[in-house]
Structure 1
Amino acid sequence: MGLFDDAFDHLPGLLPAMFRGVPFFMPDSDHEAGRRLLLTYFPGIDAPGLDDFGRAPGVIHVTGVYVGEDYVVRALALQAAFEAPGIATLLHPWLGEMSVVAEQPAVIRFSDRALGLITFDATLTPVRTSLAPVVSTLAGLLGAVDGVITAAASFVSLALAGVSAVAVLSHAHDTATACAALVDDTVSAAPEVSGLSPTVASAIEAVADAVAADGGGAAPAQLAAAVVAIGAPIAAAGVTAAPSAISPAAGYVAPAKPISARRAVTLLRAVAGELADVETLNTPAASVALAMRVGLVAEAVRAAADIDYESRQDATTVRAALDDELAGLAGETATFAYDDPAAGAGLWRAVGDLRAALARDLNEIIGRLPSVITVRPPAGISAWLIAQHFAGDDPRAVVAMFEDIVTRNRLRHPGVITTETIEILL
């Protein structure tokens, strides 16, 4: 961990990226787009000759940042990555994963005025083997969620398949049962329990049935599927169902969602946090607990895609929280990958893909959202005057902004603002 528990808290807006497996943050990036054209001029002819040599390589200029107590080690790792020969993989927070080559040396900077911080600039040229299809960021995100769920189930299956000792297998079963009970207790304590109980109870029962069926170690796949799917009912309760291909009958009223998507994300993260404290005595049991947490966080990401975000700050907060959860799970999965690459490597890779898909999808959403600013109003000014100042001459916009200012800042007397600062949604 770096100097700070979370770099996002101290340097807001940082976006995670990776080059040859070395992670860093990418606050800025630009890339070239166009074609390679050659203009030839002839004497006495106004129009030049034009030769088209195809698409330009699309050079990417990257500004990288890293904050942490291991900043010197990270700088050396980046140096080794840039000096390594051959094609490299760049994980770009906006453009996704791509193959690149560094035609020019990168510039890595230290400063005695910013200890614990390194910055670097790199110019990278994409290596295109084929024209990648354009896929929506939402489809990519949901596909990455399903990929993590599948990888987590495979992770548990492989961890349990080779277990022959009855005591070891029994402890793995006890861990699955204890985790399921903890999920049940956490959900039961939620105010929305009446709407969630039936579906969550079915998921809990599925874990119990799988544990009973796996008594001889013959059905680890069933237990794995039940463990990673335990958070699916919570996410489904908060996600708006896809419209039916057949129009509903007249007078049909769609059933209300038991919880909002935002509440589903909060509840899934809370359950995953509770499971982090479950003690395990062996690797198979630890794999069961870890896979269940991975499934819960993955379902939280699925629900986050359905949130109606109010502002850039709102979406950025959710993105940072979920990315932090996924980063922690990736670190724990990497530990398994060292000891058992066959079981852990696939899940580690899937979690990394989900982090990238989450960043791409929410970054696109953030770019379309309004921003919340903080202003210091003159003493005794009216909220109506502030709304007029920021909303312009449209009366409808002034009224809407006035109501938002009063609600957002909990103003008891809108005619005379007494607080030092207020928030405004622009």
Structure 2
Amino acid sequence: MSEWRDLRREASFRGVPFWVDSDSVPVGRRTQLHEYPKRDQPLVEDMGRRTREYKFVGFIIGADFISQRDRLLAALDQPGPGELVHPWFGRLTVTAGDCDIAHARNELGMVRFNLTFIDGMLMFPVQRVNTRRQLAAHVPTLLESAKARFDAAMAKVDLARQRVNAVRRALSSAYAFAINFLKPLTSLAGDLGALVQSVINAPGALAASLLSDIASVERWFSGYGSSGSLQSSRSRARAISALSAEPPVADDPEVAAIQAAVIGLVQDAALVDLLLDMVEVPVASVQSVDQPAALSVQLEQDGSTVEAGSVMDTGVPVADDILALRDAISEAMWAIAGDSLPEHFGVLSDARLALDRHLTEVARSGVWLRPYQPRTTVSSLVLAHRLYGDALRSAEIVSRNAIRHPGFVPATELQVAKS
């Protein structure tokens, strides 16, 4: 059978079919010709791709042509873009332009028309809240509040009478957390003994330097996937929450107060570090096409191509992961707020709301996961092609489900992207 017979589709607009006698569409580039005196060659200025207007000369015929005509008229009068099924170009999103319909006395039971559909749609600018900037605006206030919280706690302690060994035991857990998650602290206090001396001799300078160094760290976003910036953020948030549950290690109330103050400072610093990392997380920009035509017959309406690859590799977040990260950080903020004075509690609450808004927007721009269980053991390439029509997304399935060998995906429940 001829290829064109396989590719041809029945024409319709917004689901209303019609017959086509002929069609045309202008293609090419818009140009502006500049001619200059005493020059043989003109300057041709490229003004962009021509607007594609799909024009049809066709008809509707049959015993019910009146009702079919009225349905087509209603579809043409409806404002906004709609789906056009073109006989040769497939499914397109277009806006109805100037059209006319004519009846003839010698063509009873039939209506002829000339239809014009414009590639594109009228879109008005829509104001969107910059959630990243809103979250970043809360960081300076949080830094000041964290410094004030630590200074107020340490002001109640008589540091001159404290024993180094007792303070050392009390701060061991906080230092162990810091060397894993707060690199600036290790530069300020190379070991636990140096941290104890800084707390006893110059607590205010230690807090100011730590928070300042945290805020000045250069940051960048390296992706949503397993090798990206978000990989360790969830574990850091859980560690912050676990640090709040540390029991006092000394019976001396002043040593216990020092322990609580330093743990609070380390938690606040780690939280600021997390929030600044979240400020760098962008809301993904995703364009999708519902029921696209075959690539061999579909016009590339936007003039660009989409590279094949996994969801994570192409810069699209997994909504489930983002929401889990949001909840983990929010829980850590609640854990800190529970041990805070009302002033610091209010600052943390405002920052938490800004964080929730931002990460919720990031999640909305991503894809969701769904459970899927293959019937038999299958190669990840075959499974990716079966699910998405794209074998190159096999790495996504392997990394998401920790598959040991990509050639043998077991017949167990997997987590895969919905699209």
- State which structure, 1 or 2, has the greater radius of gyration over its C-alpha atoms: 2
Q: TM-score, normalised by structure 1?
A: 0.47
Bigger share in helix:
1
